[in-house]
Structure 1
């Protein structure tokens, strides 16, 4: 089996190709627009064509197979997955990545990860990943970086349908219209699976259902004014099995397990509306205003635990751009409230988090030089109310970015940047659960602050796109959950001092008209410098849940203009289990491996496709601690379907 994996890794150093030429792509989701070659940040850009060729069931799958981002189901929940980038750990890394959809932040105020599953892959125009940057525009939480997702605004019209193993079915559509005055788009998706793992002795499975819909419109009543509006909704009903012991995992990874608390069923609903206006005074000066309201409900049916959320946000900015100088400044506002209903474990409570920020980002271009400089000042206010308490706290935080890019020639550049970022605690960090699940107030904890340094090199020719960067991050008060083996002293708290360093390599090489190569490799080391909890000194320990090596490669073969084959290999090295801060558990996080293969046939407006994930039936899991393993990507699955464009 190891030989098969090694062979597939070697083979995947060759990636498919069509008769195309590579060129620097535009970075359009940031305040100051530029291209890859001139960027002062380490950036990955993936287009709608990249996403369509991957034939993924959701955005998590694309991120995990194609990008430097790691995605893993949150304690078994495939629709709410945790994200990691640059060594912040799979346990809490997602709270250090800002995710935006058409410029609107979709992160949550508590420990629920962003619901990327609600975004249909067919509706996406571009994904831009900015590593160790983005604090000035992204704000609170942009320590590892920012993932900006932009949806289509064109005349595409397409319908896709597929079915697969374990009675998986999916249907998605995108309808777009765009002319000089009016732009309209509508998209939606419905997905269902009978599940793979058993959830009880009766052999019932972990069923999953997802439905999403989105509508966006933009209208130019006069040449200088654009009016925008949109709405989106998502409905999730998911049952996910609990952890397994190591013996259970090795015996039958699909079983429910006898040592855990049983499966969890959650319903999660979200409805959002947004509106905006832009005024273009001239070709250089413009003003923008956008507002968004979102309502969510999380219902853990298993535990009779219901929480309602209300999010309101607004952003105002003034932009100026010419060939030499660009600047964007404005204010960013957010108010998030959670109404937690009474349950068997806790009394009813209201918790809120409010952010108010002002920001300024500028860029200077002269000859072969580009300089980026920006700053953000942000206040964060918390409030907690229940029948016994009325508590509040606030923080004032400062972020900054400074970057420099030098164009060596028409195809290559070097860059250097620095970012001072921060993460204010989410509202769940103020609470603890005892071993019976009873909730108590933990107290307010300190925000995390980071200083990141990145040195990079870009080389982009018509046949090869190569990027590499070195990074170092110094952290103060990194937020984590201390797990006491006796559970008596477990709590949310801060690591006093820590650091991370590593490097990234990305290469896409067009070898010939029928072959190209794409490789994404990341090395990271995350260390604890100063931290003592419950009499235990963690200085010098590795941050758990961080794999040192993360590699993805894709091999594609295009024998004709109509047929394409692709082979993708993903690999992550072993790591310490998520709760193993002493680095002494008997069990470690196993290495992750998965080999995926796909084939597509295209004729005019019709595409037929098929894909097999985890071709060699590798077992993978998320280790929390000894004998607490959540299986993921643990068996071979397949889908086949069609896509029709009209």
Structure 2
């Protein structure tokens, strides 16, 4: 499996040269899936489970942010730090705890949203109204996507929309306000789509006032056998930072803030031109170029820490899919190249009004070539094989003249089988390798560079599962085991990031739905997991911030055609505080169960929604580090009204 891709790419055309020109193509009618192959496919027989959240699911949820939509999905532990707008929310897949955000790859139409540092995803980069669907792969996506895709992949897909327009107004607790609008129009050969959104809220805690604006657009045109497009967007976030509470503060008044003047300001923008072509009946080509820029300014007054960060990323991601056949067998191969060139500059000071005392700049270039082959061995049985070679060059300098380099290359492989036992019944299994490179914050410390650069993370995994899909029911089950080496984590004693001893992440993800009749539907999910250290002083101890159980259950009731009522409960089990690798220093974060209620009425062109979050006003903290607590919002209410033109 650990072979170099350049020789493989050179030999590939020769291997298939004798294939039958009219060999059967791998196509299956059904839902369109992108993430499993990086091409639009109709139910591609991938050796994994893909969870799809549709536009209708998002609209009926009444959610104000994408993390709010994702929190009910099996295998995802959603941990917000501040407020209902999703600012600084981390999503954990496969049980990585405090480093989860760097091990879950988030894509926007296939392009990476993960930052060069440890900044959490800007979940507001696109308005919810512009999202066509969200695809989720629990488990490694490193072959197709590389770095960061250790625990899983979340792909936010916008795409082309039908002609139309809408406007939406909303209001709720903590003086929450929202206005959004959008339209899509075919103007001759040009399709134009634009969405805009503004949200304001004072916040449940002190110093947690938030304001978010975002705009996203797409211009596209079809030509013979293809499409050219440009995606672009801009977003801003201004938020107070109330900070983490001690246990005494949390018990006494979870609404209080540690400081009243700490804040974060974030500005993000991107532009992404691309082209999609059906070159021949058996050959597809897709390529995007991208430019993104993020400005992130923060002031944490109790740490005397002002940080002004600016980053830019250039990308180019061409790929080719060939339906070539392999003798009489159906077979197709995707081969692609990923190029990313990014830089990040951080200006630091002890005051938000003082002079800059330190500047750090990091440059990072990443180049990768990958291929994936899917071959139908027999009717219903598909073999998937893939490999990737990725090289990264990192260099960092600071204002004192110090310089550090950190260059690495990794080659990984993966094999999987998917078997369609019968209509609506599929089983699968796969095994392979995964990896992650260090980000900027993991190469630096508060005072300078780390004593020595950390090594890349690497791991080996095996997944197996079943997918049952009928007219009135659905069931997805995936069991997994992931052994990791050299996970990167912060050491609160040395004040540096370091490589941990070996860890093992094991579990089972279950998601299900059952339609009782046309009026009633039951949905549910269960994630049982354990993540433990396998070596070193903490051998046998649990990885912090990883709950042993996460579950949800919900019911949808449609008493009349226009009205939909939903009640959803989420449960997250106990977990050790971040940084407590010995499981002995701090009290565990308590388990919690919350419930949300949504009512939605749709009549003609009008849609009205009302939502109550944390219906029972449960007091809980999704996250906490070194014995601290980040309280979640208490009971909140929000309602909105939408008109579609």
TM-score normalised to structure 2 length: 0.89
- The superposition leaves residues 473-501 of structure 1 with CA deviations (integer Å, 9 ceiling, x where unpaired) of 011111111222xxxx2320111311111
Alignment correspondent of 1:139: 146
Alignment correspondent of 1:456: 465
User: What CA distance in whole angstroms lies between the structure 1 residues aligned with 2:452 and 2:570?
Assistant: 41
Asked whether 1:331 is paired with 2:337, we answer yes
Partner of 1:116, secondary structure, is coil
Give matches, 1:119-130, under 5 Å.
Answer: 119-130=126-137
- The superposition leaves residues 557-616 of structure 1 with CA deviations (integer Å, 9 ceiling, x where unpaired) of 110001111001011000111111010134111113211101111111111110100010
User: What CA distance in whole angstroms lies between the structure 1 residues aligned with 2:468 and 2:450?
Assistant: 52
- The superposition leaves residues 377-430 of structure 1 with CA deviations (integer Å, 9 ceiling, x where unpaired) of 000111011232122120001232211011111120110011311000111111
Name which structure has the greater RCO, CA cutoff 8 Å, separation 6+: 1
| TM superposition shift of 1:178 | 4.6
User: What CA distance in whole angstroms lies between the structure 2 residues aligned with 1:496 and 1:606?
Assistant: 56
| TM superposition shift of 1:289 | 2.2
Q: Is the Cα–Cα contact under 8 Å of residues 153 and 178 in structure 1 kept in the other structure? A: no
User: What CA distance in whole angstroms lies between the structure 1 residues aligned with 2:502 and 2:221?
Assistant: 50
User: What CA distance in whole angstroms lies between the structure 2 residues aligned with 1:473 and 1:409?
Assistant: 29
Q: Is the Cα–Cα contact under 8 Å of residues 579 and 626 in structure 2 kept in the other structure? A: no
User: What CA distance in whole angstroms lies between the structure 1 residues aligned with 2:510 and 2:288?
Assistant: 36
Partner of 2:624, secondary structure, is strand
Q: Is the Cα–Cα contact under 8 Å of residues 132 and 419 in structure 1 kept in the other structure? A: no
User: What CA distance in whole angstroms lies between the structure 2 residues aligned with 1:461 and 1:180?
Assistant: 41
Q: Is the Cα–Cα contact under 8 Å of residues 418 and 429 in structure 2 kept in the other structure? A: yes
- The superposition leaves residues 50-109 of structure 1 with CA deviations (integer Å, 9 ceiling, x where unpaired) of 1111110000101113453222224779412111011111x1111111111111111111
User: What CA distance in whole angstroms lies between the structure 2 residues aligned with 1:136 and 1:577?
Assistant: 32
Q: Which moved more, 1:618-627 or 1:563-572?
A: 618-627
Q: 2:371 aligns with which of 348, 360, 385?
A: 360
User: What CA distance in whole angstroms lies between the structure 2 residues aligned with 1:440 and 1:74?
Assistant: 27
Q: CA RMSD in A?
A: 2.0
User: What CA distance in whole angstroms lies between the structure 1 residues aligned with 2:182 and 2:460?
Assistant: 41
Give matches, 1:161-240, under 5 Å.
Answer: 161-178=169-186, 181-199=189-207, 206-220=208-222, 222-240=223-241
Alignment correspondent of 1:372: 384
| TM superposition shift of 1:24 | 5.4
Asked whether 1:466 is paired with 2:475, we answer yes
List gaps (5 residues or longer) in structure 1. 1-22, 200-205, 532-536
Q: Is the Cα–Cα contact under 8 Å of residues 470 and 502 in structure 1 kept in the other structure? A: yes
Q: Is the Cα–Cα contact under 8 Å of residues 242 and 259 in structure 2 kept in the other structure? A: no
| TM superposition shift of 1:446 | 0.4
Q: Is the Cα–Cα contact under 8 Å of residues 454 and 498 in structure 2 kept in the other structure? A: yes
Q: Which moved more, 1:295-304 or 1:456-465?
A: 295-304
Give matches, 1:283-432, under 5 Å.
Answer: 283-302=281-300, 303-321=305-323, 324-344=330-350, 346-365=357-376, 366-386=378-398, 387-432=400-445
Q: Is the Cα–Cα contact under 8 Å of residues 82 and 88 in structure 2 kept in the other structure? A: no
User: What CA distance in whole angstroms lies between the structure 2 residues aligned with 1:41 and 1:27?
Assistant: 12
Partner of 1:629, secondary structure, is coil
- The superposition leaves residues 180-212 of structure 1 with CA deviations (integer Å, 9 ceiling, x where unpaired) of 94322111110001122124xxxxxx2100000
TM-score normalised to structure 1 length: 0.89
Alignment correspondent of 1:629: 629
Q: 1:267 aligns with which of 265, 268, 275?
A: 265
User: What CA distance in whole angstroms lies between the structure 2 residues aligned with 1:442 and 1:185?
Assistant: 50
- The superposition leaves residues 460-519 of structure 1 with CA deviations (integer Å, 9 ceiling, x where unpaired) of 1111111111110011111111222xxxx2320111311111101111110111101111
| TM superposition shift of 1:31 | 2.5
User: What CA distance in whole angstroms lies between the structure 1 residues aligned with 2:236 and 2:173?
Assistant: 23
User: What CA distance in whole angstroms lies between the structure 2 residues aligned with 1:414 and 1:72?
Assistant: 31
Alignment correspondent of 2:63: 56
List gaps (5 residues or longer) in structure 2. 1-28, 351-355
Asked whether 1:506 is paired with 2:511, we answer yes
Give matches, 1:579-594, under 5 Å.
Answer: 579-594=579-594
| TM superposition shift of 1:34 | 4.8
- The superposition leaves residues 522-546 of structure 1 with CA deviations (integer Å, 9 ceiling, x where unpaired) of 1110010113xxxxx1111110100
Q: Is the Cα–Cα contact under 8 Å of residues 444 and 450 in structure 2 kept in the other structure? A: yes
Q: Is the Cα–Cα contact under 8 Å of residues 579 and 624 in structure 1 kept in the other structure? A: no
Alignment correspondent of 2:455: 446
Q: 1:180 to 1:281 in 2, by over 3 A?
A: farther
User: What CA distance in whole angstroms lies between the structure 2 residues aligned with 1:162 and 1:132?
Assistant: 37
Q: 1:84 aligns with which of 77, 92, 98?
A: 92
User: What CA distance in whole angstroms lies between the structure 1 residues aligned with 2:623 and 2:511?
Assistant: 28
Partner of 2:318, secondary structure, is strand
Q: Is the Cα–Cα contact under 8 Å of residues 60 and 117 in structure 1 kept in the other structure? A: no
Partner of 1:300, secondary structure, is strand
- The superposition leaves residues 332-363 of structure 1 with CA deviations (integer Å, 9 ceiling, x where unpaired) of 00011011124238511211221100011111
User: What CA distance in whole angstroms lies between the structure 2 residues aligned with 1:311 and 1:326?
Assistant: 32
Asked whether 1:549 is paired with 2:549, we answer yes
User: What CA distance in whole angstroms lies between the structure 2 residues aligned with 1:116 and 1:414?
Assistant: 33
In the alignment of these two chains, the number of paired residues is 599
Q: 1:623 to 1:82 in 2, by over 3 A?
A: closer
